[in-house]
Copies of this chain bind each other. A is one copy, B any other.
Amino acid sequence: MSTHGTEAPRPIRIALLGCGTVGGEVVRLLTEQAGELAARVGAPLELAGIAVRRPDKHPELPPQLLTPDPAKLIESDADVVVELIGGIEPVRDWLLAALHKGKSVVTANKALLAECSGELSEAADSSGADLYFEAAVAGAIPLLRPLRESLAGDRITRVMGIVNGTTNYILSAMDSTGAGYAETLDEASRLGYAEADPTADVDGYDAASKAAILASLAFHSRVTVADVHREGIAGVSSSDILAAQKIGRVVKLLAICERVTAEEGAESVSARVHPVMIPRAHQLAGVGGAFNAVYVEADAAGELMFYGQGAGGAPTASAVLGDLVTVARNRVLAGRGPRESAHAALPIRPMGQTPTRYHISLDVADRAGVLAQVAQVFAVHDVSIAAVRQRDRLSTASLVIVTHSAPDSALQSTVDEISRLDVVREVVSVMRVEGEDS
């Protein structure tokens, strides 16, 4: 279908499900930039309807477009469904129905994608519809399209990033003020950087959903949120922050997705979210406040970094609009975007078998032979020590150890056994480390 004919092109009709902060921005941009967007798409973009829970609460929106019933819009003649409601049910059923009907879907729903992207992709494939979700990970940062398309000819080995702004804000604040976790969380809530119920952020659920989406795309495999090892930041103490500072590092909550190659050559995927000490010179260390940044390593491309705003109405709307222009263009040109690429189907590597490195800071008895005893525990568990620092008698944390890479379960067992040694008065801080130079 060409748009260069003499007849005016048919508008692309859009059903918008949900109209909160992001949806409001999407409507604003669709309206304000209507001419520009029509030129870029090759046809006007037209709102077919907007589903909101309480139409009477939206005097700013055209009343004839409003409906409290999303299912009605799925049944309508809309070409594209933009979903900004969130959560799994009943959204899952609506989007499956839309895709089966051949409507393309643009969604920012990370929880849904991290649980059912396979099912959604199959529905899209069955009818030839598009499924795009750039806004689901790292807000405005163009990250998924590069992973899905720009790096499609390369072999990605690692995706590691700061993908949750709330936890990054809290950890940055703890690092600069020295305050504890609970106090800093309170302050963040007061300032609006944390939700009233911050569980999804601080316990790492949000980041884990994003890790599942990133790992699926990077490794051409289906990875769901259940496959992601998850630890939040509630256990990060000011002792941890201080211990990190003492070795020139900073604590960040990272989503880490890796292609792990076993000795016999078999590949698997490790996806995890947990606090990590990274060197202060690392580019991710400088990412402060509510910003997001993601590192990607690929065989041919080498190291790449993507940086930008990870949340907020306008930035998220930018990502939604980008997807909307793409799927609308595909309609006009009778084309299709890339389908799900899950052909590699790599197995998930359990956290216990994932190679990690630990930092361990101990308060130990002030007598000879302590290091020998501690080192013996590492040796028994086949964990190799990279660096040891012993402090003088006046210091409280008197033994700091950073290990080489070992299976996470061996490191956990080592820490357990060390904590039970008579000579160890207190385990001051235990945290995984990433990045060289420690």
- Which positions in A face B, CB cutoff 8 Å? 25, 29, 33, 36-37, 39-40, 134, 140-142, 145-146, 149-155, 220, 283, 286, 298-309, 312, 314-315, 317-326, 329-330, 333-338, 341, 343-344
- Told that A40-B220, A145-B149, A299-B318 touch, could you supply 18 new A-B pairs with CB distance under 8 A? A29-B153, A29-B154, A140-B300, A140-B301, A142-B304, A152-B326, A283-B286, A300-B317, A301-B314, A301-B315, A302-B312, A303-B308, A304-B306, A304-B308, A329-B338, A330-B335, A333-B335, A335-B337
Name the CB-closest residue of B to A333.
B336
Which residues of the other chain, B, contact A325 by a CB distance below 8 angstroms?
149, 152-153
State whether B154 touches A318 (Cβ < 8 A).
yes
* A265 smallest CB distance to B (angstroms): 14
Residue of B nearest to A26 (CB): B153
Nearest-Cβ distance from residue A165 to partner chain B, whole angstroms: 13
Tell me if A's interface is mostly helix, strand, loop or mixed. mixed
Q: Do A141 and B308 touch (CB < 8 A)?
A: no
Interchain nearest-CB distance for A306 vs B (Å): 6
Q: Given A40-B341, A146-B146, A326-B149, is A318 in contact with B300 using a C-beta cutoff of 8 Å?
A: yes
A309 to B319, CA, bound (A): 25
Does the CB pair B39–A151 fall under 8 Å?
A: no
Q: Is the CB–CB distance between B151 and A322 below 8 Å?
A: yes
Are A152 and B321 in touch, CB under 8 angstroms? yes
Q: Considering only CB atoms, which chain B residue lies closest to A151 in the complex?
A: B322
A155 contacts which chain B residues (CB < 8 A)?
A: 33, 36
Name the B residues within 8 Å of A305 (CB-CB). 305-308
Nearest B-chain residue to A155, judged by Cβ: B33
Closest 3 CB pairs of A and B: A153-B321, A335-B335, A142-B150
Chain B residue nearest to A295 in the complex (CB): B307
A22 CB, nearest partner CB in chain B, Å: 10
Q: Which residue of B lies closest to A152 (CB)?
A: B325
- Cα-based distance from A341 to B153 in the complex (angstroms): 25
Q: Which residues of B contact A309 (CB under 8 A)?
A: 301-303
B-chain residues with CB within 8 Å of residue A324 when the two chains form the complex: 153
Q: Give the distance in Å from the alpha carbon of A151 to the alpha carbon of B314 in the complex.
A: 12
Q: In the complex, A323 Cα to B149 Cα: how many Å?
A: 8
Give the docked Cα–Cα distance between A314 and B155 (Å): 12
A151 engages B318 (CB within 8 Å): yes
Residues of chain B within 8 A (CB-CB) of A299 are 314, 318
Complex CA–CA separation, A335 to B333 (angstroms) = 7
Q: CA separation between A329 and B325, bound complex, in Å?
A: 20
Report 30 cross-chain contacts, Cβ distance below 8 Å, ordered by A residue.
Answer: A25-B300, A29-B154, A29-B300, A33-B153, A36-B344, A39-B343, A140-B302, A142-B142, A146-B146, A149-B325, A149-B326, A152-B325, A152-B326, A152-B329, A153-B321, A153-B325, A154-B321, A283-B286, A301-B308, A301-B314, A301-B319, A303-B309, A305-B305, A305-B307, A305-B308, A306-B307, A326-B338, A333-B336, A334-B335, A335-B336
Known contacts being A142-B146, A300-B314, A301-B315, is A154 close to B306, with CB within 8 Å?
no
Let me know if B301 and A318 touch, CB within 8 A: yes
Q: Is the CB of A39 within 8 A of B344?
A: yes
Interface-central residue, A29, A153, A333, A337, by most chain B CB under 10 Å: A153
